[in-house]
Each structure stands twice: as C-alpha cells, then as structure tokens.
Chain A
C-alpha cells in the first residue's frame, strides 16, 4: 500500500545532540513537508520541498535542517541549536505543489532527556 512512513515513532535527544527524523513516501508525490505540533497549538511549518534538491524554510526553520536528495525521502535533522525540541513532528506529502490534498505520516514524538 502507498503511504508515508515516519520513523522512529518515539525519539529521545540528549543535550547538545543532533537527531534525525526519517520520512519516506512511496506515493510518487512531488512535494514534501515537515510540521511541528505542540499541545494546544495548530501545526507550524518547519520546511518544505516542492522538487528534488530544493527546499524552502517555513515559519519556524531555526534549529532545523533538511535535505531532499531523492523524491521519496525528506529527512529532518533537529540540531542542538533548537533549544525547545520536545514536540510531535509530522511529515506530509502532496501530489502537486499547490498546498492542496496533503497526506500525512503518523508522526514522531521527540522528547529531551
């Protein structure tokens, strides 16, 4: 079945450590997105990519980095510069680049040790 796979489901980060969240899709979608979700807030856009080897900052990109070397993959690295990384991270993809019809993965919960 086609879909988006996020791994791991739960991740723990130590002080000063970089961690990478995986996002893979087999839907042949062009665009991919990373969102951060905090309790009581909506989803906030971290980064998005509408084509391979290109990506754009979203509203809260500081302390995060991404790459898009393959159409299927869009990993997110949470760097040590992100001082408040505890959140639920959601990856999404869409068939076009018009921000419509986003299809979401099941998320990764990141916590700080």
Chain B
C-alpha cells in the first residue's frame, strides 16, 4: 500500500544551523508530494508542493525540498533556521487517485 514515512519523530537544531527533515514514500510511480507546517494549537500551512518537472522546489519561509525518485524521498531543507521555525512538520502525498496521505510528523525544536 502507498505510504509516507517520516523517520525522525523529533529533531533539535541550533538557531542559524542548517536543517534537513526526511520524508520517504512508497509508491510505484511519481506521487504529488507536499510539506506542511503546524504551530502548536494551530492548523496546517502548506510550505511547498511537487507535482512534476524541476525536482528542486522552493517554498515559503525560505524552505526548499528536493524530489529524488531513485531514493523515493522528498526531504525538506532550510540553510539557516530561525527560532520561529520551531513547529511540527508533516510530509504528505497523493498517490494516483487516492486520498491525501500524511506522515506522522517531525517535531522541530530550535535551541539558542
């Protein structure tokens, strides 16, 4: 069955350091892929999406993600994190005509 996996439950990064959040998917073709961010007690905000074409996609808040078909991955990156980036991050995918499937999320903590 199609699935989205976020292997890291919790990541801690120093302010100003680079960030990479991992996302893997299981699917025989290329899915639509998304990254969402959720602040505590709030809804989800779309950071970026990949449908096709250029495998490096730019999003809001200085985030980018790279689609790698050979690794079935769609990792989220940011060159320098800010304290305001502390939140929960969800990777999600649409596989064919199926429903949007979410990963279990990665909680990001920023230390000064």
Contact = CB atoms under 8 A, between A and B. Distances in A.
A, B in one complex: yes
Interface of A: 4, 6, 40-43, 45, 48, 58, 88, 90, 92, 98-107, 109
Contacts of B90: 42-43
Given A40-B104, A42-B104, A43-B90, A99 B43 contact: no
Interface stretch (B14-22, B54-62, B69-77, B95-103): B95-103
Contacts of A41: 104-105
B49 A106 contact: no
Interface in B22-60: 32, 34, 36, 41-46, 49, 51
B43 A45 contact: no
Contact of A106 (B43, B98, B100): B43
Interface of B: 4, 9, 32, 34, 36, 41-46, 49, 51, 90, 94, 98-100, 102-105
B3 to A, nearest CB: 10
Nearest to B88: A37
Nearest to A43: B102
A41 B90 CA distance: 10
B9 A107 contact: no
Given A42-B90, A90-B43, A101 B102 contact: no
B-side binding surface: helix, strand, loop or mixed?
A: strand
Given A42-B102, A100-B34, A100-B51, 10 more contacts: A43-B102, A90-B43, A99-B100, A100-B32, A102-B46, A102-B100, A103-B46, A104-B36, A104-B43, A106-B43
Contacts of B41: 88, 106-107, 109
A105 B43 contact: yes
A42 B90 CA distance: 8
A105 B23 CA distance: 24
Nearest to A45: B99
A97 to B, nearest CB: 10
B74 to A, nearest CB: 15
Contacts of A103: 46
B42 A40 contact: no
